[in-house]
Amino acid sequence: MPTIDDAKARARRLRAALAGHAIEIPQALSLELTAAELGYRDWNTAAAALKDEKPGRISFQQAIPILRIFDVAKAREFYCDFLGFTVNMEHRFEPELPLYMAIARAGLELHLSEHHGDASPGSTAYVWMTGIHAFHAELIAKRYGYGRPGIETLPWGDQVQVSDPFGNRIRFCQKHGSSR
C-alpha cells in the first residue's frame, strides 16, 4: 500500500506529465485523480486512509467539533435542510434522554449534542474548504428564513459565516489561490 507521500508524489508526476502535453490542471485535481486511481472516493478519504510510514512521527487525525443543540427539529432544519449535511449516527442512552448526533458533508464531520457537559453554547468552529462561492450561492438560493450569510474577503481567504439557532457559529473559509 502506498504511503501518503507516495500518493502526493504520484499526483505531482501526473500534473507534470499532463503539463508536458500542454494540459494544465490544478494540484487539487491531480490529488483527486490520484485518489480515484488508488480506489478512494476522494482525496480526503485517501489522505485519511494512507499511512505515513515515518517511525515515531506524530500524526493527528481529523478534528470533529462538538456543537451544543437544544432542539433536534431546529438542528435538523439548519444543519440538514439548510447546510446540506446528512445524519451519520444518532445515539440516546434511553428514548427520552438527550440526543448525540453525527452529521457529515463533503469530508466534514460535525457532532451535535443535547448533553449539558459536551459543549458550550455559542462556540465557533473554523472550517477550511474549497468551492466556497458555489457553497455560498447554494445557501443563498435556499432563502433560509433565519439567515442569509454573506461572503467576506479577508487577508487569508474568502469566508462565509453561519450561525445556528443555538448561538454556535461556523466559519467556512477558502484560502486565497485555492481552487474555486
Q: What was the pLDDT predicted at 61?
A: 75
Q: What was the pLDDT predicted at 71?
A: 97
Query: How far apart (Å, rounded) are the C-alpha atoms in residues 113 and 123?
Result: 13
Give the percent of the chain with pLDDT over 90.
Answer: 71
Q: What is the DSSP string of the chain?
A: ---HHHHHHHHHHHHHHHHTTT----HHHHHHHHHHHTT-SSHHHHHHHS----TT---------EEE-S-HHHHIIIIIIIT--EEEEEE-SSTTSPPEEEEEETTEEEEEE--TTT--TT-EEEEE-S-HHHHHHHHHHTT-TT----EEEETTEEEEEEE-TTS-EEEEEEETTS--
Give the mean pLDDT of the chain.
91
Q: Is the pLDDT of residue 180 over 60?
A: no
Q: What is the mean pLDDT of residues 111-121?
A: 94
Domain 66-175 in this protein, CATH class = alpha beta
How do residues 22-70 score in pLDDT, each as one tens digit? 999 988 899 999 999 998 999 988 888 887 766 676 767 789 999 999 9
Domain with CATH 3.10.180.10 in the chain: 66-175
Give the percent of the chain with pLDDT over 70.
Answer: 95
**Cα dihedral 114→119→120→122 (10° resolution):** -80
How do residues 59-107 score in pLDDT, each as one tens digit? 677 899 999 999 999 999 999 999 999 999 999 999 999 999 999 999 9
